Structure 1
Amino acid sequence: MSMSQAVEDAIFDLLDKAAPGKSVSPEDVAKAVDPAGWRRELGKVRAVAVGLARAGRIVILRHNKPADPDTFKGVWRMRLPTEAEKEHRA
């Protein structure tokens, strides 16, 4: 399994376990992939999350609001898209 596949699997595994509408942090995902060296995984988590957000599979949040996956900076989280967001993309 590729590292990006492991990151993607961890993102969806954590989101599946979260309550509906709840988000997960990139740190949580990185720790799920590599508990000892999680800080090294943060760049990969961001890269995979950006790709998933561009594809409409997750939403990247800043201050609990959807952010542009190409321009966001600072602290961020991710969650699954709402039904309204899925319809908006369709």
Structure 2
Amino acid sequence: MSDRQTDRRLERAILDLLDRRAPTSTICPSDAARAVYDGDDDGWRALMEPARRAAGRLVAAGRVEITRSGRPVDPAEAHGPIRIRRAH
């Protein structure tokens, strides 16, 4: 699978996971990475940074927000644990 295909699958996974939850719920980038990874081991970890970048693209498109400690943060400054939620 190409990087572009993986990027699109991660974006779709983020949106799909959020669609299945309450409107104010959040997800972790690892949820999207696990949803896209096709294996039973810890290989999903290699998709963590691509998942964070996918969330950043969705922020730029106005579809989601990245939060840290419950507050929206700029994707470029989102270091450490983050959550993703639908944009308000």
CA-CA distance at 1:70 after TM superposition: 1.7
Deviations 1:46-67 (A, max 9, x none): 1111111122111000001111
Deviations 1:31-51 (A, max 9, x none): 101153210110110111111
- Name the TM-score, length of structure 1 as normaliser: 0.84
Quick one: distance in 1 between partners of 2:55 and 2:23? 19
CA-CA distance at 1:26 after TM superposition: 0.6
Structure 1: unaligned runs, 5 residues or longer: 83-90
Question: Which structure has more strand as a fraction of its residues?
Answer: 2
- Name the TM-score, length of structure 2 as normaliser: 0.86
Identity percentage over the alignment?
39
Structure 1 vs Structure 2 CA RMSD = 1.3
2:63 aligned with 1:60, yes or no?
no
Structure 2: unaligned runs, 5 residues or longer: none
How is 1:10-25 mapped onto 2 (pairs within 5 angstroms)?
10-25=13-28
Q: Which amino acid letter does the alignment assign opposite residue 53 of structure 1?
A: V
Q: Alignment length, in residue pairs?
A: 82
